[in-house]
Amino acid sequence: MSSLFAERILLDAGWANDVRVDIDDGVITDITVGAPPGDAPRAAGPVVPGMPNLHGHAFQRAMAGLAEHRRSDDDSFWTWRETMYRLVERLEPEDMAAIAAQLDVELLRGGFTATAEFHYLHHQRDGTPYADATTTSTAVIEAARRVGIRTTHLPVAYERGGFDGAPLGDGQRRFWADAALIGELHEALRQRFSAEPTVRIGLALHSLRAVTPATLRVAAATVTDAPIHIHAAEQTLEVGDCVAATGQRPVEWLLEHGGLAPHWCVVHATHLTEAEVHGLAGSGAVAGLCPTTEANLGDGLFPLLDYLEADGRYGVGTDSHVGRRAAAELRWLEYGQRLLHRRRNLVVATGRASVGGSLWDAAARGGAQALGQPIGRLALGRRADLVVLDDDHVALAGLDGDGLLDAWLFGGADDLVRDVMVEGRWVVRDRHHAQEDVIERDYRRVIAALRSA
């Protein structure tokens, strides 16, 4: 049993002062508002729920900033993939672990307390299987456990090169996985990590272009009580190819044939019709938005205001990890809508004027749903995952309540995370992770070897 006293804390019912939070085995067991601190350690600043990161590919941290040289007059996601494939050809499991550990430390320091790893590097560099099919998944999960970040691991089905059934290209040979392999990976990982409260196992389908309808149906039937994620409608070319192959747009097809439900997360969903917006919102699935990566790739802008009007649920992820701070993802989510609609202060919850408060609350709850973990809120029975802001930072001077979140997201200072707790344990203290030096050293060694190759 441990306790924490916060002078200011964002609870389910809103901001509260002088609150004692009791924690037992990582779970919040009691919350007392207006309590004396007693012997409870005092938080060094305002406390907010930790942000779940609902989408990412850890290995891509190693290529952040390396695909910014113009290659043609029509650079796009499809040309960006070539840089990614060259990285994939060089990675060993120990490299993936070192990259993931560095990423996880950075995510914690950026206010993320949990990740969803959309993992499709299943095989050896030449495409042949490992003796243990879970080798690469285990490397990434163990990196998260070492760093102390919560994770939902999603082994990905990926079996074809396009809607026409083309075989996977050389750069994709490590990705192959059909419904049988994904079921095997899901079950093996679930058993291996069943005793770990910070690890959840789900599954993912890369996209409708990369899996057959039969695989989608079998995989979805395999998992009915764990998260299922899928990329959809990220690029207009993908939408056009889907219409040509199936007569329907990707999200339209998923709504009719995919069984979308609250345990699903549809990642990106950038290009939607009005009917798709309302259908996705009505399904209870989470829209997984990755504003920094979507901007980096030139994908487009999600119709967020229409989606919120339809009571849609959303969360944010860092995807390719060109950005690794929760505040930046939420800032760009709002700024994208401002640019699209040419108005300000757009993403606000009913009865709440603060954009920062509205974004943080909705994304934390939506991210928790997408990860299938009891996080995203500071409430009884929830896991004790939280972020402490730096009360001494000039950016927060004279502010209180949602004004703190507005200043963090939109005030120009990204370095406001002071301490981070996951599962009731401090993993970042005074901006530092206990293992950051050795983790960074290992990362630098891996990067040096990759770039020299």
pLDDT digits (tens, 9 = 90+) for 47-64: 999 999 999 999 999 999
**Token digits of residue 23:** 């924690």
Please state, in angstroms and rounded to a whole number, the distance separating the CA atoms of residues 340 and 328. 18
pLDDT digits (tens, 9 = 90+) for 329-367: 999 999 999 999 999 999 999 999 999 999 999 999 999
- Using 50, 70 and 90 to split pLDDT, how confident is the model at 82? confident
Q: What pLDDT score does 262 carry?
A: 98
Please state, in angstroms and rounded to a whole number, the distance separating the CA atoms of residues 337 and 294. 13
- Using 50, 70 and 90 to split pLDDT, how confident is the model at 414? confident
Q: What is the percent of the chain where pLDDT is above 70?
A: 100
Among 184, 182, 190, CA closest to 210: 182
Q: How far is CA 122 from CA 12, 86, 138, 178, 444, in A?
A: 39, 16, 10, 11, 24
Could you identify the residue written with the tokens 């549809």?
266
Is 95 in contact with 136 (CB distance < 8 Å)?
Answer: no
pLDDT digits (tens, 9 = 90+) for 280-293: 999 999 999 999 99
Set 119, 268, 321, 433: catalytic member:
268
pLDDT digits (tens, 9 = 90+) for 255-271: 999 999 999 999 999 99
Positive or negative torsion for Cα 184, 187, 189, 191:
negative
419 as an active site residue: the answer is: no
pLDDT at 147 over 80: yes
- Average pLDDT score over residue span 24-53: 97
Higher-pLDDT residue of 59 and 76 is 59
Among 431, 450, 451, CA closest to 106: 431
- Average pLDDT score over residue span 3-15: 97
**Token digits of residue 220:** 């979805």
30 as an active site residue: the answer is: no
What angle (nearest 5°) sits at the alpha carbon of residue 51, between those of residues 376 and 88? 125
Set 319, 390, 406, 419: catalytic member:
319
Among 264, 206, 266, 207, CA closest to 238: 207
Positive or negative torsion for Cα 184, 62, 293, 312:
positive
Please state, in angstroms and rounded to a whole number, the distance separating the CA atoms of residues 177 and 218. 13
Higher-pLDDT residue of 139 and 222 is 139
Please state, in angstroms and rounded to a whole number, the distance separating the CA atoms of residues 331 and 405. 11
- Using 50, 70 and 90 to split pLDDT, how confident is the model at 81? confident
pLDDT at 453 over 80: no
pLDDT at 109 over 80: yes
